Amino acid sequence: MKQATGQPLLQGFDCVARADARVLILGSMPGQESLRQTQYYAHPQNSFWYIMGRLFGADPDLPYDQRLLRLQDRGIVLWDVVHRCRRPGSLDAAIDRDSVETNDFKKLFIICPDIDHVFFNGQKAAALYKRLVLPALAIKQEILYQTLPSTSPAHASLNREQKYQQWSLIKNIKPRPP
């Protein structure tokens, strides 16, 4: 893993959640374009909002706040594993492992006690969570963990349609009735 010594300490975004959520979607750390725009998955070639648009009507053409509300209305929490880190560029492989500070998942699972599905947006998010977060959690509820293909344009082994097909299983998880 590359050392990012001398790089600025980057900070991710707040969690986008409602207390009644059942699904948590976790990325690793926002890329440069997302950090610049202060929006999750802001790079125009990232497939995330295309997929969320097809699944939940959170279309990339909607204003960002409306997209986030659509996900929340579907019981989806949007967050990243990493709260702070050093990373030159946007690639997950460039994250300086020694600089990683994770988000507070103990607090999240208290605020959102009905989360029973966690989907990782790519292998790096899953690996970071399993190595740095999971050992410290004492979760009482049963949670299904699943890694989905990264929506990043850097993950080019699958096209947008192939990514959508794999991500579409999230649509079957219904929000809890009021």
Query: Catalytic site residues?
Result: 46
Tokens read off for 77 = 């929490």
Residue with tokens 């969690």: 15
**Which helix (H) or strand (E) is 89 found in, with range?**
none
Q: How far is CA 130 from CA 47, 60, 126, 165, in A?
A: 24, 30, 6, 25
Tokens read off for 129 = 């969570």
Are 30 and 152 in contact by the 8 Å Cβ rule? The answer is no
Number of other CB atoms surrounding residue 112 within 10 Å = 19
Tokens read off for 74 = 């579907």
Which residues, other chains included, contact 10 with Cβ-Cβ below 8 Å and sequence gap of 6+? Answer: 29, 30, 35, 84, 85, 86, 87
